[in-house]
Structure 1
Amino acid sequence: MTHKTARLGGATSDVVLAKVGHGLMMMTWKPTPVPDEEAFAAIKAGIDALPPGAKMFLNSGEFYGQGLTTANLELVARFFEKHPEYAERTFLSVKGGLRPGQIVTDGSRENLRRSVDDILKALRGTKKLDLFQPARRDQNFEIEHYAEVLNELVKEGKFDYIGLSEVGAETIRRAHKIAPVAAVEIEVSLQAYERQTKDVIATCKELGITLIAYSPLGRGLLTGHIKSAQDFEEGDFRRNYSRFQDANIGHNLQLVDGLSAVANRKGITVAQLSIAWVGALGDHVIPLPGSSNVKRTLENLQAGDVELTAEDLAEISELLEKYPRKGARYVDGLTEQQLHLWG
């Protein structure tokens, strides 16, 4: 199968990426990490399925490990140590910028530099850091400060491209005036499609910025395999998310049932339909599902080639209007400011 591709940072970029990326977070940020052999096979499968010249967008994080460790980066380093021939066939994006071992944003020049240096140290020279993203914006610092510091680091050769994460449309505009932003990452799915989401997607298209859409499967709800919070392993942080609580999940699963009917008619899975819907939001949009399994990785990639008709999209829109997400994106009672959303 010839898989669709996208370009980084607009049509002028020479970096060709797979239309569907590969998120690595849940390989390590859960109570029972995925064994290397299984994780490596999943990563390789996606890369091997790409057309010549295309790279797989791999997404990692400085803190993607139990206890906020660099476990995910260390897994990435082990992969490229064992399979160095895949280094040039991938595009590596890493989120950082938090204080070590804490879910605390720190946008100081010193911490941003420390974060990038620690990421490079964890990678051990096995793979170039292609794109760096501050995971959340520290409200103590203007976005112009971030753009200036990140631009300095690019000029010093620490990484090649600037990314932003969980920011709003106006923030993107301000940053892009100071330094070219190549990619912006936000949550986008049929469970996360709000006014701010639409504004960011439109702004990125206008400015020629790639939009990386994480959690296109609604933290797993849109796979059709999750029926309650108890379906997640004990200690999995998703057990606490509002959308999976008893008061909400029955309603949310009605959307999945409706989507399943559309997917069955098209001969695809509900997960593939959900990824395809995100990808259809724009040529510049790259859905970023996570996968630790070969079969799932290939299914996710194939979703980038699914063509949705006007009738399909209209039916999905009706379902979305009828069954909007019940429960907060994260946990009820926490504000966007507390969660550093749309910074």
Structure 2
Amino acid sequence: MSATILNKKVGSIGFGLMGLTTRPKQISYDDAVKVMKRSLELGANFWNAGEFYGPPDANSLQLLEYYFRKYPEDSKKVVLSVKGCFSLTRGPDNSPEGVRKSVENCLEKLQGRVPISIFEPARIDPQVPIEETIKALAEYVKEGKIGGIGLSECSVATIRGAHAVHPISVVEIEMSLFTPDALENGVATTCAELDIPIVAYSPLGWGFLTGQFKSLSDIDEKDFRRAQPRFQPGAFEENLRIAEEVQKISTSKGVTPAQTAIAWVKAQGQKSNMPQVVPIPGCTTVARVEENLKDVTLSEHELEDLNGLLQRNTVQGDRYGGMMAGLMNG
């Protein structure tokens, strides 16, 4: 089942580009392009990128420019969402000046090869009223430099305040079997009320739900996840046990745990009181993108089993630590 974003049809599963430019063992642009091309061939035409996904001279934007220089015909096929107004060292700057600096930088780096369908401040700036941020972005929509405005990691109050200034095109929020928060804190129901699709990032629980982890040693010591609360000794083992339960349910169905996890997220958007939900798993290989984009549907019984698993078990550790923990806008 497809979704509609900015009056354009997008696949029921999108593609997150973060891993293509942020992994400790960097893959080449040519290898990254193969993964991106395959995702599009399989129907994942909603792409999610970030101005800070990688260093200033080698992040999502440069990769996208490279891709669309090679495949200019694809620029009209993709709905591109770009997150900006954020630094991994300084945090968000959603002031009107920060908005202008970020949007202009993104446009410059893309060199006009692909339009920015949606621009999102990556985190809500506690120093700047959301209304000021949205007013600044609305000018870029009016000028035709971006197609629409998105929000990322935001509260119900923020969504309502922003939407009152300018229609919000998407709300990007973490959603997975490990993080069902948006289903419980009013964000999803508010998006349904305002007819705002949800873009669900990290539907694989930062990799826990791929089945590829057996121990902490499976994760590169330079991988940013090693610093996250859910990957600390003690918490990691407990969370791995939950992931193994998902593996059992998946095996009985004849699918992979990643396919089960993505199907569960998709299913949330098929409920009568929920908004459209588009999961955006990321990966770095063609084989993995083919796995992630396989169309899998869960039966009511299977959904009940997974929901029961969530009720019986508590994921250990907060979603983020350090500076990021204070930017959840909850």
* Alignment match of 2:169 (pick from 178, 182, 187): 182
**Quick one: which of 252, 256, 263 aligns to 1:269?**
256
Q: Alignment partner of 2:46: what SS?
A: strand
Alignment deviations for residues 90-138 of structure 1 (CA, whole Å, 9 cap, x no partner): 1111000125x74421111111011000001111111111110000111
Partner of residue 311, structure 1: 301
Alignment correspondent of 2:83? 95
Match of 1:49 among 13, 21, 42: 42
Counterpart AA for 1:97: C
Contact preservation (8 Å) 1:130, 1:161: yes
Cα distance, 1:153 vs structure 2: 1.2
Counterpart of 1:61 (choices 50, 58, 69) is 50
Instruction: Deviation per CA, 1:184-206: give whole Å up to 9, x if none.
Output: 10111111122675521111111
Q: Deviations over 1:262-294 (max 9, x none)?
A: 111211100100011011111400001101111
Structure 2 counterpart of 1:290, one-letter code: G
Deviates further, 226-235 or 157-166: 226-235
Q: Are 1:5 and 2:2 counterparts?
A: yes
**1:77 corresponds to which residue?**
65
Q: CA deviation at 1:226?
A: 1.4
| 1:167-186 residue CA offsets vs partner (Å, 9 max, x unmatched) | 01121011111100010101
Work out the CA distance in 1 between the residues paired with 2:308 and 2:251: 17
CA-CA distance at 1:227 after TM superposition = 2.4
Q: Any idea what SS the aligned residue of 2:151 has?
A: strand
Alignment deviations for residues 50-85 of structure 1 (CA, whole Å, 9 cap, x no partner): 2xxxx611111111114x655221011101101111
1:288 to 280, 299, 320: 280
Q: 1:110 aligns with which of 79, 83, 97?
A: 97
Q: What's the TM-score, normalizing by structure 1? A: 0.90
Pick from 141, 161, 173 the counterpart of residue 154 of structure 1.
141
Contact 1:39 1:292 in 2 (8 A): yes
Scaled by the length of structure 2, the TM-score of the pair is 0.93
Could you tell me how far apart the structure 2 residues matched to 1:69 and 1:106 are?
20
1:326 pairs, out of 313, 316, 319, with: 316
Instruction: Provide the rounded CA distance (Å) in 2 between the counterparts of 1:195 and 1:19.
Output: 19
Query: What is the CA–CA distance in structure 2 between the aligned matches of 1:30 and 1:225, rounded to whole Å?
Result: 16
* Structure 2 residue aligned with 1:38: 31
Task: Note the C-alpha offset of 1:158.
Answer: 1.5
Distance between the aligned counterparts of 1:108 and 1:70, measured in 2? 25
Counterpart amino acid of 1:57?
Answer: F
Residue 40 of structure 1, CA deviation: 0.8
Do the aligned partners of 1:46 and 1:297 also contact (CA within 8 Å) in 2? yes
SS in 2 for 1:133: strand
Structure 2 letter corresponding to 1:289:
P
Partner of 2:273: none
Partner of 1:202: 189
Aligned-pair CA distance for 1:141: 1.1
Instruction: Say whether the 8 Å CA contact 1:252–1:323 is kept in structure 2.
Output: no
Kindly report which structure 2 residues correspond to 1:125-274, keeping only aligned pairs within 5 A, or say none.
Answer: 125-194=112-181, 198-274=185-261
- Aligned equivalents of 2:157, 2:262: Cα separation in 1: 27
Any conservation in 2 of the 1:63–1:69 contact (CA below 8 Å)? no
> 2: distance between equivalents of 1:69 and 1:25?
15
Give me the whole-angstrom Cα distance separating, in 1, the residues matched to 2:96 and 2:184: 28
Please provide the CA RMSD for this pair: 1.8
Which one-letter code corresponds to 2:313 in the other structure?
A: Y
* Structure 2 runs not aligned, ≥5 long: 271-275
Whether the 8 Å CA contact 1:97–1:105 is kept in 2: the answer is: yes
8 Å contact kept, 1:135–1:165: yes
Partner-residue secondary structure (3-state), 2:234: helix
8 Å contact from structure 2 (residues 91, 323) kept in 1: no
SS of the residue aligned with 1:209? coil
